Amino acid sequence: MNRLLLFSLLILGAFGCAGPRFQQPVTTRFAREDVRKLETPNLDVYYVANQKENAYRLVAKLERCLKPLQAHARSKSTRAKPVVYLTTAVLNNAYVISAALGLFEHMVLGASVNAEQIMFLGVPVAHMEAMACHEAVHYVHLQQTDGLWSAVNTVAGNIWSPNSVLDNWFSEGLATWYEATFAEGLGRPNSPMWRGWYRSFLQHRGGRISAGDLLGARDVPNGPYLAGSYFVDFLARKYGEEKLWELIDVQGHSIFSPFGVTLRFSKVYGKTIEGLLEEYNQELAETFHPRTRPAEQRVLEASLGNEARIAVSPADGAVAIIRSDLDAPATLRIRERSGAVRFERTLMPVLPGRRWIVAGPSGVSGMTFTADGRWLFFVSADYSELGDFTARLWKVDARTGEVVQVWDGLEGVGGAVHPDGSSYVYVEVKGDTSNLVKMDLATGVRTSLTGFTGTESLATPAYSPTGDRISFSRWTGRSFDLFVRGPDGALEQVTSDGRFNFGARWVDERRLVFMREHEELSQVHLLDLENRHIQRLSDAPWIALDPSPVDGSRVLLLNREGLSWSLDEIALPTSTPPPPPPTASGPGGIHAAVLSLVLGATGAPPSDTTPEVEVLSDEPYWPLDGLFRPTMHLPLLGLWNTQAPDGSVRWNRLVGMARLQGADRLGIHNYLAQFTFDSENTRTNLSLSYGNYQLAPWYLDVSGGRITDGRLLDWTARIAASRTWWNSIDMQLAGEFLDRTLEATESESFRHVRLAGPRLSVGYTAVDSTMYVNRRGLILSLSGAAFPSQVSTEGLFDLRGAMTVYLPLPLLRRDELELTVAARAMPGSSQEILQLGGFSRGMSLYNIGAAPPQTPRDIFLPSGAAFVEQLRGYEDFPLFVNHAAVGGVRYRLPLIIDQGWASLAYILPSVHFRELDLEGFAQAALAVDNAGRHWHRVAGGAAFFRLNVGGYFPVSLYYQFAHRFDDGLKPLHTFGLSFD
């Protein structure tokens, strides 16, 4: 009981603070914009006032998802109304935070996305209800807390949610599986790309999935989502949907929720997770049938990587390829018609002053050449200054790979460059409405080409060879259909069956090639605009992507094979087969003709934006909303035992903590107050902190505390302002006050030290990584603090600079070379207060060859004044110096395992063995102390066995050998545990 109490104190002291509730771009937009609170009988929604119609439409759809989910929940205990934040920040994601560790449960939704790949997976660019309903599953799932933890949360605030520790394969698989049930056509399970991904992966695995695939094997795209959704589908089909909610209910009542999860599956299903997985694999053995590429589909390049996009030059047949792989960062390559490589360049810059931050195939859309093949254009999703996503248009010299120009702020996804290079048409997304917009490349003037209103999702516009017409895809209720905008602005619908008609490119003025669903998979099709005849051209095993015509005789495409893409080629037919008999509602029939007349030149269909929402209130946001309702109000009290001189045990030691934590609903004001005490050592500690985001993106943090330990008294105070730019530059400006006093005794004199002054730190991070290693990168950091004698007991400075460089190596495809240098100086100090080495990575469990214990140094510094610099291999032997410069090299070779067990010994959580990292390192430090300059050199190696426990707790077991060349130290062998 006492150990549990102590563990609780440590955990709760470590988690939860008066820090920002949301990511910087989310809070910044809430702080800058006019926010309103919409209350319905079922939801509390915070949204930006100019997004009212969008918010109401989304709320109406979200409520339709929530009601059946809440009806499935077995527990009928009263739950708090879901709290939803609709942000204008482009996150290309959405998430739910569980009610635990002082946070209340809430959902964050972006108003739109700007990554075309998300549309491939059943989430149209402006139809955010697909993401909203996915998150609704998480919300209802996480709310199912009953029994002991429900009582604890009622008394103390939001402490724990037992369902938050179910493995991701179940929670994300469940939510992904449900996506397909809320609206026709929406959601990943309805996407032919998603199906093809899964079946291609399954064929690569020999028709079986393993626990490692469920737990996050890194070669599986969206592993817990992909494999998890199909495994959940199996459980629902064989055992019934209600069993899923029975399991959630059993988990919600559990006390030791991270443990015994597979036993709860056994209680509900009669089999452990491993047993159920074996049942699923038996079904796959009977139902899954491998497919092979047909003979007429020719391979031009066998492996482009696990992510790729292509475009073909109409002038010379050159192919632009943007690709990345598990072991290769994103590159742009242009391949000649002959197969020769014209050039290949990395896409991510790492030096300061870069014009873009990230780029890669998953964020690319609208890649096209000008008619003469001279220029390549595409749109890339990239980080904005605030840290959310924006869209940038690139103009690339197709001869050299030089990025000639970048246009910012497109607010949408890409399309196509005009054949003559004068303009670029793209999909502009405003809230939940998208439209075609033409940007004049010379002047930057943007002109709307359509006038859609309401919830509208458009995609993949493309110019005809003459530039007079534009094809594009539009979500029409159950999937995408093709439209053509004529020279007069009139819109004509050319398919009307909603079979994922996507990514059209013009063969000539009469014909289009495009992706279209056939037998649940994406295949290349040909459409003749004159007679509306559609002909399937490909029979790719699983996915055909980016069909691109060449010379009117061939089509290049990306073919999914296993876990990567290949570049393939198929023939275009020399003649079009006769059309089938016309039908009243088929392509080219009355339906399309009438729609064309209705749309006319404006492109605006009739739009009913009347919200289907029962409104209890809709008012401007009150800045103090929820501020005085703490999310954690924790009293924790317990007895501890002490041992008397006669050996008897007395329960006379009182240990406890009181904690108050809260924030207003937008996270603008955040506070934390904590008081702890221990009667044995007369320790009473008080800490207070307050965070304010009114000057967002700057975050202001004020904190202070009082710590006592017998005769020792520490006072601390700090005020800091911090922010980031482009997710790569961070800055913090702070003022610090640290004061320590030791009362005098008969044998010891009174002592006092105070440090007060400003501190500034700046950091820059740019690393080009693969799934496993850092290939290229630069990390810089500078910091300085001044403690002037006018306000400190001793005037001194703390100055530090550091640089880390990652360099690619030519021999192996999966290794990492890291070079580091750091320098730190403490001018003005009268004593050696800079500690070099002396602390372990994670937790040192056992040492061989450790240095004998040193006489403790009498360095009297206030709590929080830690002047420490790492020196690897000197974990057991701290050095105290005035100044130090440390340089080092580290080589890492990861050996990937990616295997796991759904549980260990039935009781322990799941374990995913990620990799075994082998390292070699060398470091040298030149330190200056009062006796002069000294070298401290070390070299050695290490092995890290990295695993993930329970799907949420990454740890490493490690062994390290270090040979010390100086200081008369023996070689050091360390066995330890680190937390990644």
Report the first-to-last Cα separation within the chain, whole angstroms: 29
SS3 label, residue 603: coil
Number of H helices, E strands in the chain: 14, 50
Question: Considering the chain, what percentage of its residues have pLDDT values greater than 70?
Answer: 93
Query: How far is 73 from 59, CA to CA, in rounded Å?
Result: 21
Q: Identify the weakest region by mean pLDDT among 369-378, 585-594, 770-779.
A: 585-594
Residue 588 DSSP class: T
Summarize pLDDT for 741-757 with one digit per residue, the tens: 999 888 888 999 999 99
Q: What is the model's pLDDT at position 645?
A: 65
Residue type at 466 in one-letter notation: T
Output the six-digit token pair for 832.
């050696």
The structure tokens 């850092």 sit at 774
Q: Is the pLDDT of residue 154 over 70?
A: yes
* Measured torsion, CA atoms of residues 85, 91, 94, 99, in degrees rounded to the nearest 10: -60
Whole-angstrom distance, CA of residue 230 vs CA of residue 813: 32
Cβ-contact 809, 892 below 8 angstroms: no
pTM summary value: 0.92
Residues in CB range of 553: below 8 A, 6 or more apart: 571, 572, 574
Cβ-proximal residues to 321 (8 Å cutoff; 6+ apart), any chain: 304, 308, 309, 310, 332, 333, 334, 335, 567
- What band does 417 get if pLDDT is binned at 50, 70 and 90? very high
- Residue 89 pLDDT greater than 70, yes or no: yes
pLDDT at 244 over 90: yes
- What are the tens digits of pLDDT across the range 304-363? 999 999 999 999 999 999 999 999 999 999 999 999 999 999 999 999 999 999 999 999
Q: Using DSSP, state whether 529 is helix, strand or coil.
A: coil
Q: Give pLDDT, residue 709.
A: 84
Would you state the pLDDT for residue 586? 39
Q: Give, in order, the Cα–Cα distances in Å from 741 to each of 5, 113, 688, 730, 751.
A: 30, 55, 20, 35, 6
CB 380 within 8 A of CB 391: yes
Average the pLDDT over 814-823 and give the result: 97
DSSP alpha helix (H) spans, 402-514: none
Q: Looking at the predicted structure, is the pLDDT value of residue 941 above 60?
A: yes
Whether the pLDDT of residue 216 is over 80: the answer is: yes
CB 917 within 8 A of CB 225: no
452-465: b (≥16 Cβ within 10 Å) or e = bebbbbbbbbbbbe
> Is 11 a residue whose pLDDT tops 70?
no
Q: How many residues are listed for the chain in this entry?
A: 980
| Other C-beta atoms lying within 10 Å of the C-beta of residue 36 | 18
- Per 3-state DSSP, what percentage of the chain is helix, strand, and coil (rounded to 5)? 20, 45, 40
Q: What is the pLDDT of residues 32-67, one digit of tens each?
A: 999 999 999 999 999 999 999 999 999 999 999 999
Q: What are phi and psi of 179, to 5 degrees?
A: -50, -40
Give dist(CA 307, CA 193) in Å, integer. Answer: 13
Give strand pairing partners of 379: 365, 393
Read off φ and ψ for residue 21, nearest 5 degrees.
Answer: -80, -40
- Position 606 pLDDT exceeds 70: no
Q: pLDDT (tens digit, 9 = 90+) per residue, 545-589?
A: 999 999 999 999 999 999 999 999 999 998 655 555 544 443 334
Does a cis peptide bond (omega within 30 degrees of 0) precede residue 697? yes
Residue 679's pLDDT is what?
76
* pLDDT given at position 830: 85
pLDDT digits (tens, 9 = 90+) for 257-300: 889 999 999 999 999 999 999 999 999 999 999 999 999 999 99
Q: What is the pLDDT of residue 839?
A: 86
Spatial separation of the C-alpha atoms in residues 233 and 239, rounded to whole Å: 10
Reported as a single tens digit per residue, the pLDDT across 633-682 is 888 766 666 666 666 666 667 888 899 999 999 999 999 999 988 877 67
pLDDT surpassing 60 at residue 232: yes
434-467 pLDDT per residue, tens? 999 999 999 999 999 999 999 999 999 999 999 9
The token pair at 648 is 């008897």
State residue 684's pLDDT score. 83
pLDDT of 14 higher than 60: no
Q: What is the pLDDT of residue 916?
A: 98
How far apart (Å, rounded) are the C-alpha atoms in residues 194 and 560?
Answer: 12
Distance CA 297, CA 287 (A): 26
* Token code pair at residue 731: 């800055």
Task: Tell me the average pLDDT of the chain.
Answer: 91
Residue 559, amino acid: N
| Rounded (5°) CA angle 257-141-264 | 40
| Distance of alpha carbon 483 from alpha carbon 532, whole angstroms | 12
CB 454 within 8 A of CB 435: no
Q: Strands 44-48 and 83-87: what pairing?
A: parallel
Contact criterion met (CB below 8 Å) for 740 and 713: yes
Q: Which residues pair with 683 in a beta bridge?
A: 678
Residue type, 273: I
Give the integer Cα–Cα distance in Å for 621 and 979.
Answer: 41
Q: What are phi and psi of 912, to 5 degrees?
A: -115, 115
Pairing of β 328-335 and β 319-325: antiparallel
Instruction: Say what the pLDDT of residue 575 is.
Output: 65
944 vs 574, residue with greater confidence: 944
Contact present, 510 and 528 (Cβ < 8 Å): yes
Residues 27, 38: Cα–Cα separation, whole Å:
18
- 480-509 per-position pLDDT tens digit: 999 999 999 999 999 999 999 999 999 999
The per-residue pLDDT for 230 is 97
Q: At 811, is the pLDDT very low, low, confident or very high (cuts 50, 70, 90)?
A: confident
**Rounded Cα gap, residues 701 and 698, in angstroms:** 10
> Could you tell me if 758 and 735 are in contact, meaning their C-beta atoms sit under 8 angstroms apart?
yes
Q: Which residues pair with 637 in a beta bridge?
A: 656
Element containing residue 964 per DSSP (H, E): strand 953-964
Section 69-84 average pLDDT: 94
Residue 593, pLDDT > 60, answer no
Rounded CA-CA distance 143/871 in Å is 46
Q: How far apart are CA 451 and CA 214, in angstroms?
A: 44
Q: What is the mean pLDDT of residues 132-138?
A: 96
315: part of which helix (H) or strand (E)?
A: none
Nearest alpha-carbon partner for 541 in 291, 182, 780: 291
Strands (E) in 743-815, as ranges, are 751-769, 774-787, 796-807
User: What's the pLDDT at 860?
Assistant: 86
Q: Take residue 747 and report the two structure tokens written for it.
A: 């044998």
Give me the pLDDT at residue 580, please: 57
pLDDT value at residue 856: 77
pLDDT at 731: 98
Angstrom distance (rounded) from CA 433 to CA 289: 41
